[in-house]
Structure 1
Amino acid sequence: MSEAVFHAPAATPVPIPLREILPWAIFAGLMLLLALYFVGAEEGATSIVPGMYVHEFVHDGRHLLGFPCH
């Protein structure tokens, strides 16, 4: 029994240039800072959104991350 075995050439990884990653890294950093603000500081005198809607929406997340709110 003879079978022909074909081997695919090994794929070599291509490096991604920094100029293509940098805008996405900055965007992700800004989104994380925005999320951190809403979870950690959106309450009381520093509130951007009137009312307690955002605070109640992220309330359990605040406790999970260790932010006091009571």
Structure 2
Amino acid sequence: MENTKARGATALDLSAVKAVAWLSLTVFFALLALYFVGMDQGATSVFGSNTYVHEFVHDARHLLGFPCH
């Protein structure tokens, strides 16, 4: 016969330290994405005169309203 004993739900670990770690990582990656989409051109470019990043995110830049021309 099959075991029909109900299993209880496991509790989530919502400690403050874990929440701060996840929030910090999320903010870091969001700001990194914002930099590459919106500001990686010209004098602030990490890659110098290399325009590959600019061309890769060109449509996203226009979609989000960043000027690039």
User: The TM-score by the shorter chain falls in which range?
Assistant: 0.7 to 0.9
Any runs of at least 4 consecutive aligned residues in structure 1 with deviations exceeding 2 A, and if so which?
6-15
The TM-score normalised by the length of structure 1 is 0.77
Unaligned runs of 5+ in 2: none
Q: Which residue identity lines up with residue 39 of structure 2 in the other structure?
A: A
The TM-score normalised by the length of structure 2 is 0.78
Unaligned runs of 5+ in 1: 1-5
- Over the aligned positions, Cα root-mean-square deviation in angstroms equals 1.7
Which of 1 and 2 has greater Rg?
1
The percentage of aligned residue pairs carrying the same residue is 51
Output the CA distance in 2 between the equivalents of 1:40 and 1:32.
12
